[in-house]
Structure formats: structure tokens, C-alpha cells
């Protein structure tokens, strides 16, 4: 027997999105224990706004009011932020902790999941409230029992990731919303941990961009996400030094600043102190070496600079003894620069990248510890000093700042003209002064001469 289907009439398409949204909202309210009439719910919220958010005079809330208010605060980031701004969240938590109502107790934990980033931003720690609620709980609610079982892991996202190995398992176990702050925070932590396995020559721009957005949130109680990321990347650089890490280095500087800025040069930078001295020293050495190579190979012009090849041969062996460097570039050389190096001169780091008012010469300041050197291109003299002859904080300099001020004159050990490069005249003179002031130097004069 053949079944005839009735003809389909051309009705206008029905918009199911509003219906679905209404159903989802109702399910959320039922799940959170709200089965009260909308008018009563709205009255409770109005009461809360008037007595808590506007007048900042918290009053004791009834169980039904606490139920309504806690639902509202989970659904509204704006109201939760206002509560943080008036510094009344601890009072609300105190009232919620005393309640026997399971849905209210559960929402203490949901505050943590839903508004993790806001709590971090306002430096409000609700872990103690969560601990109190869960340690006292003796009921049979499935998720409350799960939260209690994994309480220590729950309060330490890093240990939570280590315990479950996968965000998907965490999501399923704790019934996390993919839109919750806590879920997204776990994704960021996972991204940072994935950096440990990236290849040194691989670009990770999208990952870097995402991490940069959350760099000021805590990785653990001792260090921020941005700072921990810097540790991970520098560790990789130390293990495999023979790669081009320009992209990584620019990202590190974006995250925590250049370790050679004046504040960090004087060991006052908080981020770099937390990251660690061995990482700071490594990156300063790497950047200084990179800048010296830039000066010798890019800022010097082999076609018009007769000393170019000899200068390059002389200074390269000294790279490993370099503690700090600062470049001074003229406008025409700056226009010739490309990509990431040009970006560094236009950034905020005046302590390492500056401009010189000279038509053709560029310069580099080099700190070797007990002796400082300023070297220049195109027939500039090599000047050796007992201390730093200039302020390192400026963005713009004049060539005369290096030798004509009274302060600079007092510090000059020697001024050497690049004479007779082919037979090593200036090289021999500079080498002997450096050897006298740099301890444990193992470079020979022959290594510094053009072969």
C-alpha cells in the first residue's frame, strides 16, 4: 500500500532562535534552582541594586533574595563588576556561606567559574569561600560531590590540567560552560604549555596574539602568564641557540618589555625579577649581540665605509663579553631598515634604540663591565670610557654628546682613529686597552684582524 503524503503548504519560515533562547534561559534558571515568578525575581534584583550597588549599604538578604541575586550575578557581568567595584562581594559570600540551600552554595563555585577574569582583575580571591562551602557540604548533589573530591585541583588550575591531562575531560567532569572565564583560562594555560613543544623556527603569531591578551593574569601564585611564557621561550632559545628568534624576541619585548631598559639595567623591573636573573641575562646578551651584528653588517655601508670590513672583523669576537648595547641610528639608515628592527626604533625603549642627528654616521654604545665603548661608522673615532658618558634614557642625541660635554671628557680613557686598518694599527691599540679592563679575556689580537 502506497502512503500518500499531504501536500506541503507554503508557510513563512518560523524563527526558532527566539524559542530556543527562551528555552535555554528557562533551563538555566531551573538548573540553578529558580522556579519563582518573574515579578518576584525582578523585585529582589531591584532591592539588591538599591541597597547594595547604589547606596553601598548591604543588608541581610533572605534565602529567596539570595537565590535571585546569585542567579542574576552569574548572568550579568556588569552587575558582578559593580559588586566588585563597591567591594561588597565578601559580604555577599559571607551570607551565601551560611545558607543551607544547595543552589545558593553551588553558585559560590559558579562565581569562580563564570567570572574568573574579573576576580583576577580586581584581585579578589574567593577560594577560601569555596573551601568553606565544600568542606562543610555533606549532601548528595552530584556536582557538589565532584567539586569537593577535586577541591585542591579546582583551586589550582595548573594542577587541574596536570591531573586531567585534557581540557575536554575537565569540561565534562565539572560541567563547565565553554563561555565561562574559567574554561577560557584553561585554554590559555594549555596554549602556554604547548609552547614547550614548538619548533624554534616555527611562527606562532596567532598563539602569541592570544597569550598577549591574557598576559597580566596569574599563571600561578608566583608569576603571571606573560612572564611564564617568557621563561618557556627563553628556555627554548637557550637549548637551541643557533636559530633566528627575531619574532620570538619581539613578542617577549611586547609581553614584559626589553630587559635592557634603564629600570631593568638597574635591576628594578618587577616582571624581569619574577622571570629570573638567568633568563634576563641571557636575553640581554642575545639582544646586545643581535644589535652589534646589526650595527656591523647593516648600518655600516661596505661601499662607502672603508673601515667596514676591519671593524666587523674586530668586534665580532667580543660579542660574548658584551653586557649591554645601545644603538644610535641616523635618519637615512633608519629609512633603509626593514621589519622587526625598524619596529624597535619606533617603540618605547629609548634605553636601547635611539636616533643621532648626523647625516651619515650611526653609532653603538657597548658595555663590557669596567670599560664602555662608543664605536661609529664612516670615519668616526672609537672612544673608550671608564663609565657611561651619556644618559641612556634619551631618544635623540647629537654626536658631540659623546665627547664634548664636561662629564664625557672626564670619563674618556682613549680616543682612537681608525688608521691603517690593513696592518692593524688601531685594532692593536683598542685591543690592548680592552684586554686590560675585561677580566678573563681569551681573545687574541690575531682573531680580531681581517684574515
Tens digit of pLDDT for each residue in 294-339? 787 776 665 656 788 898 899 989 988 888 888 999 888 888 777 6
On the CB side of 251, CA atoms within 13 Å amount to 24
Residue of 256, 263, 251 lying closest to 350 (CA atoms): 263
User: What is residue 320's predicted lDDT score, i.e. its pLDDT?
Assistant: 83
Tell me the mean pLDDT in the region 80-105. 93
User: What is residue 222's predicted lDDT score, i.e. its pLDDT?
Assistant: 85
Q: Name, in order, each residue with C-beta under 8 angstroms of 45's C-beta and a sequence gap of 6 or more.
A: 68, 69, 72
For the chain, the structural domain boundaries read: 27-152, 156-251, 294-448
- pLDDT tier for residue 14 given thresholds of 50, 70 and 90: very low
User: What is residue 18's predicted lDDT score, i.e. its pLDDT?
Assistant: 56
Tell me the mean pLDDT in the region 149-155. 94
Q: In 236-258, which positions are buried (b, 16+ CB within 10 angstroms) versus exposed (e)?
A: bbeeeeeeebebbbbbbbebbbb
**Higher per-residue pLDDT: 354 or 297:** 354
Cα dist from 291 to 42, 58, 122, 135, 262, whole Å:
63, 59, 40, 57, 17
Cα dist from 350 to 17, 286, 345, whole Å:
55, 18, 8
User: What is residue 5's predicted lDDT score, i.e. its pLDDT?
Assistant: 35
User: What is residue 26's predicted lDDT score, i.e. its pLDDT?
Assistant: 58
Backbone angles phi, psi at 59, to 5 degrees: -120, 160
User: What is residue 198's predicted lDDT score, i.e. its pLDDT?
Assistant: 84
Question: Is residue 300 within 8 Å of residue 271, measured between CB atoms?
Answer: no
Q: What is the pTM of this model?
A: 0.67
pLDDT of 4 over the 70 cut: no
Determine the Cα–Cα distance for residues 95 and 105; give it in Å rounded to an integer.
Answer: 10
Residue of 350, 379, 384 lying closest to 366 (CA atoms): 384
User: What is residue 114's predicted lDDT score, i.e. its pLDDT?
Assistant: 95
The number of angstroms, rounded, from the C-alpha of 263 to the middle of its chain's C-alpha atoms is: 18
pLDDT of 215 over the 70 cut: yes
User: What is residue 260's predicted lDDT score, i.e. its pLDDT?
Assistant: 76
Amino acid at each position: 500500500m502506497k502512503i500518500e503524503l499531504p501536500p506541503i503548504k507554503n508557510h513563512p519560515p518560523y524563527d526558532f532562535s527566539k524559542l530556543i533562547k527562551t528555552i535555554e534561559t528557562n533551563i538555566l534558571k531551573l538548573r540553578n534552582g529558580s522556579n519563582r515568578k518573574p515579578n518576584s525575581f525582578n523585585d529582589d534584583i531591584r532591592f539588591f541594586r538599591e541597597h547594595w550597588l547604589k547606596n553601598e549599604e548591604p543588608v541581610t538578604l533572605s534565602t529567596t533574595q539570595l537565590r535571585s541575586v546569585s542567579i542574576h550575578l552569574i548572568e550579568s557581568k556588569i552587575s558582578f563588576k559593580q559588586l566588585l567595584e563597591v567591594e561588597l562581594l565578601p559580604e555577599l559570600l559571607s551570607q551565601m556561606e551560611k545558607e543551607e540551600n544547595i543552589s545558593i552554595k553551588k553558585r559560590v563555585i559558579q562565581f569562580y567559574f563564570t567570572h574568573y577574569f574579573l576576580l583576577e582583575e580586581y584581585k579578589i580571591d574567593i577560594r577560601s569561600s569555596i573551601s568553606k562551602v565544600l568542606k562543610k557540604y555533606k549532601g548528595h548533589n552530584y556536582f557538589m560531590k565532584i567539586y569537593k573530591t577535586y577541591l585542591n585541583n579546582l583551586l589550582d588550575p595548573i594542577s587541574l590540567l596536570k591531573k586531567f591531562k585534557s581540557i575536554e575531560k575537565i569540561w565534562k567532569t565539572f560541567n563547565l560552560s565553554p563561555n565561562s572565564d574559567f574554561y577560557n583560562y584553561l585554554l590559555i594555560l594549555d596554549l602556554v604549555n604547548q609552547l614547550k613543544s614548538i619548533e624554534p623556527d616555527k611562527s606562532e603569531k596567532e598563539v602569541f596574539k592570544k597569550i598577549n591578551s591574557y598576559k597580566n593574569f596569574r599563571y600561578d601564585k608566583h608569576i603571571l602568564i606573560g612572564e611564564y611564557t617568557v621563561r618557556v621561550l627563553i628556555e627554548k632559545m637557550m637549548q637551541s641557540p643557533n636559530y633566528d628568534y627575531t619574532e620570538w624576541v619581539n613578542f617577549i619585548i611586547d609581553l614584559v618589555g626589553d630587559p635592557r631598559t634603564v629600570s631593568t639595567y638597574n635591576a628594578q623591573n618587577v616582571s624581569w625579577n619574577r622571570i629570573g636573573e638567568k633568563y634576563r641575562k641571557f636575553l640581554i646578551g642575545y639582544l646586545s649581540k643581535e644589535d652589534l651584528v646589526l650595527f656591523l653588517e647593516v648600518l655600516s655601508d661596505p661601499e662607502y665605509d672603508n673601515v667596514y670590513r676591519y671593524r666587523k672583523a674586530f668586534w665580532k669576537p667580543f660579542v660574548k663579553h658584551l653586557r649591554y648595547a645601545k644603538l644610535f641610528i641616523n635618519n637615512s639608515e633608519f629609512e633603509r631598515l626593514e621589519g622587526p628592527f625598524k619596529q624597535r626604533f619606533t617603540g618605547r625603549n629609548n634605553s636601547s634604540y635611539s636616533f643621532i642627528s648626523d647625516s651619515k654616521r650611526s653609532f653603538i654604545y657597548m658595555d663590557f663591565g669596567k670599560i664602555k665603548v662608543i664605536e661609529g661608522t664612516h670615519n668616526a673615532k672609537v672612544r673608550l670610557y671608564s663609565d657611561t658618558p651619556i644618559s641612556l634614557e634619551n631618544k635623540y642625541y647629537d654626536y658631540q654628546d659623546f665627547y664634548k660635554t664636561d662629564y664625557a671628557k672626564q670619563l674618556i680613557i682613549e680616543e682612537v682613529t681608525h688608521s691603517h686598518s690593513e696592518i692593524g694599527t688601531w685594532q692593536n691599540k683598542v685591543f690592548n686597552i680592552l684586554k686590560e679592563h675585561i677580566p678573563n679575556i681569551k681573545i687574541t689580537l690575531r682573531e680580531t684582524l681581517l684574515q
